[in-house]
Amino acid sequence: MPPVLEKASPTLLPAAQCPLVLLWGIGVMPACITLDCHSAHPSLVLIEEATGIKFSPGRRFWRRKPQRFTASPCVVGREGCAGGRLYWEVRVGDSPDWVVGAARRSVKRKRRLSFRAREGVWAIERQGGQYRALTDPRLALSVCGRLEKVGVYLDFEGGQLSFYNSSSLSHLHTFQDSFAEELVPFLSTQSSEPLSMWDLDL
């Protein structure tokens, strides 16, 4: 069962007025995530001190790096998780096109991705006005109201990656899997509207 946003056992992600109180209560600190500029696809521009991205297809100059995505417009976080639990948020705002999730550090960078677990990517998306979990096949998500920020909760040993509407504190989807290597935050977009890693004030 996915973590439920209510007062629950210490191993679950509960909910209340202030997410920070609950995160502290289960020993999970909000992660301060910066994005790896060397991984960013040439059409992605890093903004806000490498905590956000936007799509800019007119860009031409880029340095060749083995870790750079060149087939799909993606970027990963510099910081990863190979054990324990981690929580971060992504402000998706008005962007009509995005993929938010986590990926293996070793995810393929030079071929086009379909953003599936078999490729080492666990994510949800918004595309064509629809929200979906990128399972196989895709699973439509029920979203009440506007989804402005996506909360992502990783329990590495527990094999769970859960997604929340962090404004309404409602659960969106949980992937259950066995994670064998380090996972890093993962973003993809083809919109000029920015996506930003959201730091919770400590």
Q: What is the CATH number of the domain that holds 48?
A: 2.60.120.920
3-state secondary structure of 12: coil
> Which two structure tokens, joined as six digits, stand for 98?
């995005």
In a domain, 70, yes or no: yes
Residue range 50-89, pLDDT digits in tens: 999 999 987 666 678 889 999 999 999 998 999 988 889 9
In a domain, 154, yes or no: yes
pLDDT of 22 over the 60 cut: no
Residue range 188-202, pLDDT digits in tens: 999 999 999 976 543
- Domain holding 152, by residue range, is 19-198
In a domain, 5, yes or no: no
Is the bond leading into 137 cis (omega within 30 degrees of zero)? yes
Residue range 122-166, pLDDT digits in tens: 999 999 999 999 999 999 999 977 799 999 999 999 999 999 998
pLDDT of 12 over the 60 cut: no
Q: How far is CA 142 from CA 54, 94, 171, 179, 186, in A?
A: 26, 18, 9, 26, 22
Domain count, the chain: 1
pLDDT score for 70: 93
Q: Reduced to 3 DSSP states, what percent helix, strand and coil does the chain have, rounded to the nearest 5?
A: 5, 35, 60
Mean pLDDT rounded to a whole number for the chain:
84
